[in-house]
Amino acid sequence: MVASEIRALFAVASRPEVVSLAGGMPYVTALPLDTVGEIVADLVAHRGTVALQYGSAQGDPHLREQICEVMRLEGIEAGPDDVVVTVGSQQALDLITRIFIDPGDVVLAEGPSYVGALGTFAAYQASVVHVTMDDEGLDPAALAETIDALSRQGRRIKFLYTVPTFQNPAGVTLSASRRRQVLEICRRAGVLVVEDNPYGLLGFDGEPMRALRADDPEGVVYLGSFSKTLAPGFRVGWALAPHAVRDKLVLALESAVLSHSTFTQLTVGQYLATQPWREQIKAFRELYRERRDALLGAMDALMPPGCVWTRPAGGFFVWMTLPEGLDSKAILPRAVAERVAFVPGTGFYSDGSGARHMRLSYCYPEPDRIREGVRRLAGVIQQELLMRDTFGTGSAPVHGGVDTPGPDLA
């Protein structure tokens, strides 16, 4: 585990004068904080001896029932016995990797992929092989070709890791037809699918997409979280897994933490039981839609020719590709000096590629701040293009380290 030199830049980026288009932090100010405070006070007053005690490693039974109700919005029919509550979905991902991966085993992942997952896979010495994606998500033909090639090489593929809906970092969504193809390809090859879905309920148009797990209960482990639809500070996520995997998850969780916080589980459960949480998610969707529109509108108006980007229908992120000759990691120090921040694309690939890409987040800043941030960033890119055209290259790339920004940026 190696620290990244960009961490120092992100420490500067947290200053109030810097417009951060880097962080994937939910806008928790939109929550009814007074109500949450009342729920916490009531919980301590009336169930404090339970809330402050050890609990089951699998998670509070009533909360697991409520999680099944949440997943039903995405077409998943499941029972609470197959749900394991975790410390955010990040712990679920860590436990799945611990269970399945021996050093050198292959994990298939979209290219680009979630930086937190790549760090977990590296920690367990997995070999990550990226599969091409486009505006419709993971490319099924590329997936089939990659599986065939690895099989001919005699390499063991343990699972496919995918964020199919409003993907982090690209913002794209796997189409319905491709979802069926991906499941069939993995079913034929005997490859488990790990579906990470923190953004699935945060779409801006229509009903939630049908989850992969809804159509293959035995071949998919589903990871969910309340971090994006309620608050990340509660650190409550979950895994929905086939029976045999569920049992291993509980054993692995016990060895990691004995049991996680009963207090936060009961708080989340009380919130779901007493508050109009569907309406709160709707409010988040409208808020993030406004900010998405502010970002895309400013980019359309201000970004120099040669820049292209995705147009997400939900979630938190836009993925931008820079013109030839520009390196996003090399540009970052100049951008921070101009009081705007982003995450370089190299952090989202296991092999350090992605230098021409950057992830822009619209979830946290106010719309006017987003527009100002885009104005500053467009000016930096324009200056880099002038350097490229004058000297044949932009700023020199920054080498060394691993691009692993902290949780507020992931």
Mean pLDDT check: name the lowest of 4-8, 302-306, 327-331. Answer: 4-8
What gap in Å lies between CA 109 and CA 117, rounded to an integer?
A: 9
Q: What is the mean pLDDT of residues 94-103?
A: 96
Residues 342-371: pLDDT tens digits? 999 998 999 989 999 999 999 999 999 999
Residue 137: strand pairing partners: 134
| Residue 374 banded pLDDT, cuts 50, 70, 90 | very high
pTM of this prediction? 0.92
Reference 219, options 185, 249, 251, 253; nearest CA is 185
Question: Residue 367's CB: how many other CB atoms inside 10 A?
Answer: 17
Q: Which helix (H) or strand (E) holds 66?
A: helix 61-71
What is the pLDDT, as a whole number, of residue 23? Answer: 83
Residue 146 has pLDDT above 50, yes or no: yes
Q: Which helix (H) or strand (E) holds 15?
A: none
Residues 222-231: pLDDT tens digits? 999 999 999 9
What is the pLDDT, as a whole number, of residue 391? Answer: 82
What is the pLDDT, as a whole number, of residue 399? Answer: 46
Contacts 24+ apart (CB under 8 A), 34-41: 35/275, 36/231, 36/267, 36/271, 39/267, 39/270, 39/271, 39/274, 39/275, 40/267
Side-chain half-sphere CA neighbours of 67 within 13 A: 29
What is the pLDDT, as a whole number, of residue 372? Answer: 97
Q: What is the mean pLDDT of residues 237-259?
A: 92
What gap in Å lies between CA 74 and CA 198, rounded to an integer?
A: 12
- Phi, psi at residue 338, to the nearest 5°? -90, 10
Token pair 């949780």 is at which residue?
407
What is the pLDDT, as a whole number, of residue 125? Answer: 95
